[in-house]
């Protein structure tokens, strides 16, 4: 083994350890996986879902609880989709899998005008199909490959374009209350997933087969976050931590906190407490 090969192997082992640690922490923090779970790993053919499946298969061997994995891909009948790639790969690694065949592509192309982004409708149709399959096949958890960068991008998209403080939660109960969605990569950085996927040399299937325009708003968020990450190291970690450290009384949502019902406790307005209140008011009046 050459020196460069040994160095590359060492770098891969360190990266793999970091990602596994991050996934393990996310699973533990949000109780994502429980004993006896049957987990549907949604495999799109992209780097994120390949990495998620890889790490979950490894954790399955050492986890203190027993759980099943089923890799599921939705073949949406997009022109040029290489139908053989995923089955061949999944058979080679020995994981149970199922390919759902449903022509959502034709529906999207019929409904969305030419030149407009198809991602929104496509994702809704895909989600509905996967939810239905999970319910019909005894799936207890649905694992999606969204990572930390996806969560942060969604957070800022909602702020800038939706007027909401909202992101992608690491664990979610679906609107119909029938499915639990988990995101095991919630603590993982996209650039580390990219490096891991390059080491693994997964058979990546690009998500441009439908000819849709890229989601320009999300792309703008991606560029913004990458710029911040380069100019201000640690900023993205701090922002993500803020999503886990919410103070409802310090925001302005009247549905989340009872501002109207706030009352001062007159028993505390004595001595030092009264001085502190006066000092605060004096400061505000300056």
| pLDDT tens-digit readout, 238-279 | 999 999 999 999 999 999 999 999 998 876 655 554 444 444
Reading phi first (left if > 0) and then psi (alpha if -120 to 50, else beta), residue 122 is in: alpha
The answer to whether the beta carbons of residues 45 and 87 sit under 8 Å apart is no
Reading phi first (left if > 0) and then psi (alpha if -120 to 50, else beta), residue 233 is in: beta
Residue 213 above 70 pLDDT? Answer: no
Element (H, E) at 99: strand 97-101
H helices of 119-257, in order, are: 119-136, 148-157, 190-200, 216-231, 235-243
Residue 191 above 60 pLDDT? Answer: yes
pLDDT at res. 76: 78
pLDDT at res. 82: 87
Domains in the chain: boundaries: 3-248, 256-285
- CA dist list (Å): 6 to 9, 74, 103, 141: 5, 38, 46, 38
Q: Which of 63-72, 134-143, 168-177, 260-269 has the lowest mean pLDDT?
A: 260-269
Tokens 């990546």: give the residue. 204
| pLDDT tens-digit readout, 82-134 | 889 999 999 999 999 999 987 777 776 666 666 666 666 667 777 888 988 99
The answer to whether the beta carbons of residues 130 and 139 sit under 8 Å apart is no
3-248 is a CATH 3.10.50.40 domain: no
The annotation status of 210 as a binding-site residue, yes or no, is yes
With bands split at pLDDT 50, 70 and 90, how would you rate the model's confidence at 2?
low
């Amino acid at each position: 083994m050459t020196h460069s090969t040994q160095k590359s192997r060492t770098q891969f082992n360190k990266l793999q350890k970091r990602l596994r640690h991050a996934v393990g922490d996310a699973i533990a923090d949000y109780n994502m996986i429980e004993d006896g779970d049957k987990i549907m790993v949604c495999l799109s053919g992209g780097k994120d879902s390949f990495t998620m499946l890889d790490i979950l298969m490894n954790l399955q061997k050492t986890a203190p609880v027993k759980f099943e994995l089923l890799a599921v891909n939705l073949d949406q009948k997009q022109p040029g989709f290489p139908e053989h790639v995923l089955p061949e790969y999944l058979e080679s690694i020995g994981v149970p899998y199922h390919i759902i065949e449903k022509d959502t592509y034709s529906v999207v192309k019929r409904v969305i005008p030419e030149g407009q982004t198809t991602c929104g409708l496509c994702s809704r149709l895909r989600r509905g199909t996967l939810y239905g399959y999970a319910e019909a096949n005894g799936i207890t958890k649905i694992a999606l490959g969204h990572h930390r960068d996806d969560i942060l991008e969604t957070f800022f998209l909602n702020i800038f374009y939706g007027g909401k403080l909202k992101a992608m939660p690491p664990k979610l109960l679906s609107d119909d209350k029938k499915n639990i969605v988990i995101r095991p990569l919630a603590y993982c950085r996209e650039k580390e997933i990219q490096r891991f996927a390059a080491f693994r040399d997964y058979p990546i299937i690009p998500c441009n087969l439908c000819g849709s325009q890229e989601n320009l708003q999300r792309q703008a968020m991606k560029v913004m976050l990458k710029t911040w990450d380069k100019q201000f190291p640690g900023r993205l970690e701090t922002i993500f931590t803020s999503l886990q450290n919410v103070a409802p009384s310090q925001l302005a949502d009247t549905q989340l906190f009872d501002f109207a019902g706030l009352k001062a406790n007159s028993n505390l307005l004595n001595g030092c407490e009264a001085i502190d209140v006066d000092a605060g008011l004096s400061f505000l009046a300056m």
